[in-house]
Chains A and B, each alone.
Chain A
């Protein structure tokens, strides 16, 4: 690569250890803020999980895996983590396939593409807080809209306490999460579809392929890398879900919808920094393992086939 901005030639004669500082100066401000307020705390969280410390006293004492021992023997930790996994299992199927189908429908029409894309993406622009309160009111026992609607259409038998029933609460929060996240999958799939050469679809039409054949033999294989990205995004959001559940149920009733980030937040609130950082570290390992493992698997599969 030609470097037009490297130092002028006459400087080459000056001492060899003279280095060009400009590239570093351009990066410096970003590095400083990023390291102090993002990367530093992440690394500190990992190291401090092996120490006894709290928010206010600076004294620390190395205690090895003691915090991990507590976390890994805490039923509530596994309870919370298992809920993240339920979320993840549902999230890679439901919002992703909704997004795929809606993107395909939008791609198939001629007029109104921009309108439908914009309207269907709308819930995704809101804060988790707004989403949670919208659904809190939808689920509200008597001022809500869900139970009266069910009665109106003759499904009165299904009315229930959507956030108060421990068997259902987690799934009720998942519906709110889905409402706010299928739009992301949709716009990404749509952009991926628009990158596919129209020649392929034209050829398929000439050969008389129907909608289902086009979907399974052209669209989905062509969107291989897009799928990888969309699902990886779901891994991060499902393992890091917080605001929606925090407001809808607070993790309750009786921890029935507890997730890792709420567990960690509760630990921090109780000044149990050791347990909080240990739990966060375990969660980080799980997330990094899942996401990089998934991406590597997808790369390997596309390479080997």
Chain B
């Protein structure tokens, strides 16, 4: 390899890694590509040759799937529940995290520990009494009830993450703000939040994905078709159209596409939310 210059040799050294990565990427993405391709085929094509690409692209499948179930309601519910939950989590957790990180008061450690406690439990540990409570409060089978459950579930992680971030703020910032006559709430609103935008963004996208995808609690608490979220609606749709292959594939894609779009737009924020929270 002497005839190759330094940089060319460098590039060749990386070649095995590229080959392995391309191989892994193809294996990982093939199922998704196959589902998208199958959604454009006819049932006959799928049955006779499941591996082939669609002969003629039948976008009609998507329309049939959309009108075959209340996807408009599922979409509305998912958007409404997720957006409201994310907004509430960001407001409540940033307020609490500011207090935990920057204020001295009796019970600070204990209260923070109580929040941490909630991250140690598997989901099933609360389901029985939660269902009972939601019936008791008339919040079962309600979008509002589901929002409260999701917010309560996301708060421990959100507070943990933001507290660690707020602790990194220099004390001088608060001191000078206080000298200028800035109250603690004004400091939170005018200085802390604007300066934390990247962290709030990462946390928001992370909570958005978790809430949008949630299934177990929605399955437990919602039993009216008009109140189902997308994951829940997809199960109902699949149960009904299991023999209609093309529509089933289209239904999966209708549910998957919004997540893919959000992911493409906010990929860096999402991965930051996962890794920043985990490495602290």
Contact with A along B55-96 (1 / 0, CB 8 A): 000000000000000000000000000000000000011011
Task: Tell me the bound Cα distance from A191 to B167 in angstroms.
Answer: 21
Q: Bound complex: CA of A273 vs CA of B251, how far in Å?
A: 35
Closest A residue to B213 using CB positions: A127
A39 and B118 contact, CB distance less than 8 A: yes
**Inter-chain contacts of B104 with A (CB < 8 A):** 1, 3, 6, 23
Q: How far is the CB of A105 from chain B (nearest CB, A)?
A: 5
Q: A42-B126, A134-B252, A261-B122 are in contact. Are A102 and B51 (CB under 8 A)?
A: no
Query: Quick check: is B270 within 8 A (CB to CB) of the other chain?
Result: yes
Contacts of B212 in A (CB 8 A): 127
| Cβ-based interface call for B1 (8 A) | no
A287, B122: Cβ atoms closer than 8 Å: yes
A226 — nearest CB in chain B belongs to which residue? B279
Q: A22-B103, A30-B155, A129-B235 are in contact. Are A191 and B275 (CB under 8 A)?
A: yes
Q: Answer yes or no: B3 CB below 8 A from chain A CBs.
A: no
Instruction: Give Cα A152 to B171, complex, Å.
Output: 66
Q: Taking the complex as formed, is B4 at the interface, i.e. its CB lies under 8 A from any CB of chain A?
A: no
Determine whether the beta carbon of A261 is less than 8 Å from that of B249: no
- Answer whether residue B46 sits at the interface, using C-beta atoms and an 8 A cutoff: yes
CB proximity to A under 8 Å, residues B167-181: 171, 174-175, 178
| Known contacts A33-B152, A48-B129, A288-B121, then 16 further A-B pairs from the complex at CB < 8 Å, ordered by chain A residue | A26-B95, A26-B188, A30-B92, A41-B129, A42-B125, A44-B133, A110-B14, A112-B21, A122-B29, A126-B259, A127-B213, A129-B255, A130-B234, A133-B252, A261-B122, A280-B124
Decide yes or no whether A4 CB sits under 8 A from chain B.
Answer: yes
Which residues of chain A have C-beta atoms less than 8 A from B209's C-beta? Answer: 125
Contacting residue for B125 out of A45, A121, A152, CB 8 A: A45
Residue of A nearest to B111 (CB): A27
With a CB–CB cut-off of 8 A, which chain B residues contact A161? none
- Asked if A4 contacts B125 (CB within 8 A), the reply is no
Decide yes or no: A109 and B21 within 8 Å by CB, A34-B118, A129-B231, A260-B124 being known contacts.
yes
**Nearest 10 interchain pairs by C-beta:** A127-B213, A37-B152, A41-B126, A191-B275, A26-B99, A44-B129, A38-B152, A23-B105, A129-B231, A23-B103
The distance in angstroms between the C-alpha atoms of A142 and B279, with both chains bound, is: 45
**Interface residues of A, dominant DSSP:** helix
What size tier do the contact residues of chain A reach?
A: 35 or more
> With A and B bound together, what is the CA distance between A203 and B128 in angstroms?
57
Measured CB to CB, the residues of A under 8 A from B are 1-6, 19-20, 22-24, 26-27, 29-31, 33-34, 36-42, 44-46, 48, 55-56, 102, 105-106, 108-110, 112, 116-123, 125-130, 133-138, 142-145, 148-149, 152, 179, 184, 187-188, 190-192, 195, 226, 229, 233, 236, 239-240, 242-243, 246-247, 260-261, 264-265, 268, 273, 276-277, 280-281, 283-284, 287-288, 291-292
Assuming A24-B105, A288-B120, is B92 touching A29 (CB within 8 A)? yes
Complex CA gap A135/B100 in Å reads 44
Q: How far is the CA of A127 from the CA of B78 in the complex (A)?
A: 12
CA distance A139 to B35 in the complex (A): 12
> B260 on the interface (CB 8 Å rule)?
yes
What residues of chain B lie closer than 8 Å to A287, measured between beta carbons? 120-122
- Residues of the B chain whose Cβ atoms lie less than 8 Å from the Cβ of A110: 14
Q: Chain B residues near A109 (CB, 8 Å)?
A: 14, 17-18, 21
Residue of B nearest to A55 (CB): B132
Spell out B's residues near A (CB within 8 Å). 14, 17-18, 20-21, 24-25, 28-29, 31-32, 34-35, 38, 46-47, 50-51, 92-93, 95-96, 98-100, 102-106, 108, 111, 114-115, 117-118, 120-133, 135, 148-149, 151-153, 155-156, 159, 171, 174-175, 178, 184, 187-188, 209, 212-216, 219-220, 230-232, 234-235, 238, 245, 248-249, 251-252, 255-256, 259-260, 263, 267, 270-271, 274-275, 278-279
Cα-based distance from A192 to B232 in the complex (angstroms): 36
Cα–Cα, bound, A236→B28 (Å): 24
A1 touches B255 (CB 8 A): no
Q: Which of A102, A120, A190, A277 contacts B128 (CB 8 A)?
A: A277
Is B149 within 8 A of A37, CB to CB? yes
Asked whether, in the complex, the Cβ of B96 is within 8 Å of the Cβ of A30, the reply is yes
* Chain A residues closer than 8 Å to B175, beta-carbon distance: 2, 4
Which residues of the partner chain A approach B132 to less than 8 Å between Cβ atoms?
55, 273
**Among the interface residues A24, A26, A187, which one has the most CB atoms of the partner chain B within 10 A?**
A26
